[in-house]
Amino acid sequence: MLHTTEIGSSGDRAVFLHGLFGQGRNFTPIARALEPDIHSLLVDLPNHGRSEWTDSVDYVEVADAVAEHLRTGFAADGPVHVIGHSMGGKVAMVLALRHPDLVRRLVVVDISPTASEGAGEFEHLLDSLAGLDLGAVSRRAEADQALQEQIPNDVVRGFLLQNLAATGSSSDPAFTWRANLALLRAGLPVIGGFPEADRLDAPPFEHPVLWVAGERSDYVRKEHDAAMRQLFPHTTQVTIKGAGHWVHSERPEAFVSALRVFLLGHREQRADQV
């Protein structure tokens, strides 16, 4: 079961898929900025947010689960745009390859269809969160303070603490993690990889693709270009200046502008032709 949130009610339909440690609500400011031209669905991927936990990590299984959810709901009336960041970008790519009838246009944000480096950083972050004694935490500020030494970056720590959910009462506070930390830690090799061709079992995706890279990030490299264009031959790449890996939160105005041009440009072209 996937937890989703809809924003807007008119215009083209677009689905947003978050990255590791994220939740659908991370894209709320972007979705609001796209109103009223885009009707957005923000998805909590399995083992994140309010969606159910699973027993394994597998991009094909997750993409198929998202496809099933869309086919009976948000995309029941036809294909939708799909935007995925990082881990969500890999889910989005597998979704487009295996279920091309559901995807009108694809946006892949700061990730490539290849094995990603940086697993050591994510191991450290997951171990830091799992090592927090939640039984000793009565306020969110205490959790923040307890993690300062292991995760000194205030922005990163604040982002991660969005996964901390209050489950008790004001008189008896208690907290738990929304993210399935143990499974995500064990599944990091899979999360950092990308399915082999035989598992994808799909031809190249023949619809337009926007490949967004952060200027200060190294998740999209020149050597990834061949793999990307082999699977997605109609790819246009753009680089957001001044952005790192979290493009949509670091440069939201530039990101929204890129989405508008790519997702809505076909509308303007039709209007010009008329």
Residues 204 and 158 in one domain: no
Largest separation between any pair of C-alpha atoms in the chain = 65
Shared domain check, 236 and 208:
yes
Do 260 and 169 belong together in one domain?
Answer: no
Rounded Cα distance between 235 and 138, Å, is 49
**pLDDT at residue 218 greater than cutoff 80:** yes
- Would you say residue 47 has pLDDT above 70? yes
Same domain, 59 and 155: no
Is residue 274 predicted with pLDDT exceeding 50? no
CA–CA gap between residue 81 and residue 42 (Å, rounded) = 12
Residue-wise pLDDT for 120-174, tens only, equals 788 999 999 999 999 999 899 999 999 999 999 998 899 999 999 988 777 788 8
Nearest Cα to Cα of residue 86 among 5, 17, 30 = 17
- Tokens at 218, concatenated: 């190294």
pLDDT(272) > 70: no
Domain around 223:
3-116+193-273
pLDDT band at 178 (very low <50, low <70, confident <90, very high): very high
Predicted TM-score (pTM) of this structure? 0.93
Q: 223 and 241: one domain?
A: yes
- pLDDT tens track for 86-127: 999 999 999 999 999 999 999 999 999 999 876 678 899 999
